Structure 1
């Protein structure tokens, strides 16, 4: 007796999405066929064993489920007609087929899952990386067994030498390729024997980043800058606001609202990790915030006017507007840096590094962890290692000053 059913597996991934699979049971043994699709529990119709209409890709996924069910049932029926013995795992292998879903097909499914989970920033970034890898291999179908050490080494060299990108960028590509390959293995779509990552193969090591922040003198130049255009001064004000609040990210600065400030404190929820932040409003920050207190300069409750007219219920639109605004601010800051003779690349992100550079060894690491809003103190130590130089400087002096 054999049965074929579609089931939503109980083990979810890191995004709380659950895999839709075809379960084949024969002679009390069970095997599963992956559809490659992951959905949230709220989108699964348990009674009818299909995706609810409220899911944006319900029709397409349900068609895929029906096709997989039909293939499995056809295989079992053929075996019964021909009186052949066939196990549940044999049905799975026959329907799944070796390398039936290739790397790029699975990558598209992974990207769809990111979009459905409203991880628009990750989706946009990883979509570009997949497209770059596809352009490099020069074909639309790439079987997992074709992803060799030789291919990945050549691709890494292409990113570093032809594209002139930094080592960390090459590492990010490798991390994504490894992630999709691991997904393929976990779903039975690729063989571990061909796995190109690990000891003696491609080993991913995240390089140390050289963080550069402004000095106190350079920040003072920004605070006292003159002869700037209105647009340039506004960019400087946004940068200083980020710096004054311990380097809060530009996406959070642009979305600051008057209602986030109560009793002389900034209270808001970070977009990146949804942590609640409570910080005193420094006097320097109050001066800047007061400049944007005119109702005509803001969109309802917003402090800064850059996201005026944005539909904040549309996460994708918010992300797009923030990226566009950040590029504009960075271009204006580059002009300001040249005007003030600051020879470092001035950008919104460097505000966080500047706070780290100036704080250096002055503040206990536990306090820096709170200001940076890091979950682990190890993250703070690693982040701050580029700026904490006093111990090494003192040690060097003790050796050579004789």
Structure 2
């Protein structure tokens, strides 16, 4: 005789949450199957063994609990019919083997890991990519043995020829699929004999991309541009601050506080890798700081995040995304007014710094200015803008 029940395990994690599990009891021995959801103790209904309605995701979690209970019961019955007597550990292993062979089940675990890291921008992107893949397969479940080299090649062709995506974007899809397959092996101890990636199979290769930045003359055009609206000048100031500080990412520019500027230096912590950065304030940047209006209660250098709860990472990302989109629209108009044919956007401020620095600054110093963790990253990035050696070599051959 066996019993199956949803329970909240009293094993608190670092965030003060408790895991929901399916408890299996057989022959007075107990095992637990975790469903991958964590809640507060106060959100669990002990009487009905479900999540209380007050929880924002109660409906979806309770549906997941019911599905897991149903699947577990069905697997127990099938195991007993097929194998006669089966132990509680045998029941658990059979359920895990059946459940975790589904690519889309493992993909939910993958998405949850991203969500737990509060990387909401990546979460939204990966959800959409998984939807595209699921629509392509026309399947609600996909056994990993079916996700073979043939299917991957067909999906590659679909993305390139039907959806007209770039090679770089296709690479991102394939990295996602490979990551989920690797999680199935590493976190669920699942054997995958049809693994489609690697030597002699589908190899993920990053296509060469060309990063285009403004040159000195074009930046000077922007610095001296007149006849801009207030909104356009404001967007240009954001761009120039990014450029003057070696191409700070727009998310970091918007997070800059007045208190970050101390004794002639900018000191802030990068959002991407949490590195502490200290840079001298260039005279050109200081001129912009002097003309920006600072209210007595203002916190940020630019006003997009005033009053925003920055602990709400999803809302913070949305505000930054909206602000960046508005800046880029105005920068397009500014480029047209300045007679600049290159596409002007917030991100090109970083490329422009790289283009102008060229090979005149040591790669070690550029690594420090870019805040790269690895000098290899700096070398690869800066290779987009260094042409002098190649040009000199060409002249040596044909200049006769």
TM-score bracket for the superposition, by shorter chain length: 0.7 to 0.9
Q: CA deviation at 1:78?
A: 10
Evaluate the alpha carbon distance shift between residue 249 and residue 329 of structure 1 in structure 2; reply closer, same or farther with a 3 A threshold: same
Contact 2:120 2:317 in 1 (8 A): yes
Corresponding residue for residue 356 of structure 1: 354
Question: Counterpart of 1:295 in 2: which secondary structure?
Answer: coil
Equivalents in 2 of 1:271, 1:83: separation in Å?
A: 54
Corresponding residue for residue 258 of structure 2: 258
- Identify unmatched segments of 5+ residues in structure 2: 42-48
Equivalents in 2 of 1:290, 1:254: separation in Å?
A: 17
Q: CA deviation at 1:305?
A: 1.8
Contact 1:7 1:20 in 2 (8 A): yes
Equivalents in 1 of 2:333, 2:18: separation in Å?
A: 48
Is residue 321 of structure 2 the alignment partner of residue 323 of structure 1? Answer: yes
Equivalents in 2 of 1:398, 1:343: separation in Å?
A: 32
Equivalents in 1 of 2:137, 2:80: separation in Å?
A: 43
Evaluate the alpha carbon distance shift between residue 86 and residue 353 of structure 1 in structure 2; reply closer, same or farther with a 3 A threshold: same
Mapping of residues 182-221 of structure 1, within 5 Å? 182-188=182-188, 191-221=191-221
Contact 1:258 1:303 in 2 (8 A): yes
Corresponding residue for residue 36 of structure 2: 37
Equivalents in 2 of 1:269, 1:154: separation in Å?
A: 44
Contact 2:79 2:91 in 1 (8 A): no
Q: CA deviation at 1:85?
A: 6.1
Question: Counterpart of 2:228 in 1: which secondary structure?
Answer: coil
Equivalents in 2 of 1:130, 1:355: separation in Å?
A: 36
Contact 2:149 2:194 in 1 (8 A): no
Mapping of residues 13-28 of structure 1, within 5 Å? none
After TM superposition, the structure 1 stretch with the greater mean CA deviation from structure 2, 125-134 or 276-285, is 125-134
Could you tell me the TM-score, scaled by structure 2's length?
0.81
Contact 2:20 2:35 in 1 (8 A): yes
Contact 2:332 2:343 in 1 (8 A): yes
Equivalents in 1 of 2:202, 2:340: separation in Å?
A: 40
Question: Counterpart of 1:194 in 2: which secondary structure?
Answer: coil
Question: Counterpart of 2:193 in 1: which secondary structure?
Answer: helix
Equivalents in 1 of 2:99, 2:274: separation in Å?
A: 39
Q: Deviations over 1:24-78 (max 9, x none)?
A: 9x9xxxxx987462879x99xxxxxx9x99x987998799789979988998899
Contact 2:100 2:190 in 1 (8 A): no
Contact 1:23 1:33 in 2 (8 A): yes
Question: Counterpart of 2:150 in 1: which secondary structure?
Answer: helix
Corresponding residue for residue 268 of structure 1: 268
Q: CA deviation at 1:310?
A: 2.1
Corresponding residue for residue 29 of structure 1: none
Corresponding residue for residue 367 of structure 1: 365
Could you tell me the TM-score, scaled by structure 1's length?
0.81
Q: CA deviation at 1:217?
A: 0.6
Is residue 308 of structure 2 the alignment partner of residue 310 of structure 1? Answer: yes
Corresponding residue for residue 126 of structure 1: 126
Q: Deviations over 1:207-262 (max 9, x none)?
A: 22211111101111110112222211111111110000000000011111101100
Equivalents in 2 of 1:152, 1:263: separation in Å?
A: 56
Q: CA deviation at 1:110?
A: 2.0
Is residue 153 of structure 2 the alignment partner of residue 159 of structure 1? Answer: no
Contact 2:35 2:68 in 1 (8 A): no
Corresponding residue for residue 46 of structure 1: none
Mapping of residues 222-233 of structure 1, within 5 Å? 222-233=222-233
Evaluate the alpha carbon distance shift between residue 87 and residue 394 of structure 1 in structure 2; reply closer, same or farther with a 3 A threshold: farther
Corresponding residue for residue 375 of structure 2: 377
Q: CA deviation at 1:151?
A: 2.5
Task: Count how many residue pairs are aligned between Structure 1 and Structure 2.
Answer: 389
